Structure 1
């Protein structure tokens, strides 16, 4: 399905990425975020709710 829009190397890369995610290898959380940002990490939902206005079209 993607062969009509993406080059083979990019399709292979996407498949590798999704296999990586399926194995749970991207599930680790970094504890350095609070140290770098100066505040605790938050969920994507919390971020989206706090910045919803920036994502609305006018």
Structure 2
């Protein structure tokens, strides 16, 4: 018995996987930029020991 390969289903799954990877990369870069911005803000504006 030979299994028929459904290329449309395989193509759809591959496209969805590629889309997921691209979405995760874009989301990670955005989060990384936000994190770096927070870190820069913390180093530029340190806590004043006199106000604590």
- TM-score category (smaller protein): 0.3 to 0.5
* TM-score of the pair, normalised by structure 2: 0.35
Greater helix share, 1 or 2?
Answer: 2
**TM-score of the superposed pair, with normalisation by structure 1:** 0.32
Structure number with greater CO (CA < 8 Å, separation at least 6) is: 1
Larger of the two Rg values belongs to structure: 2
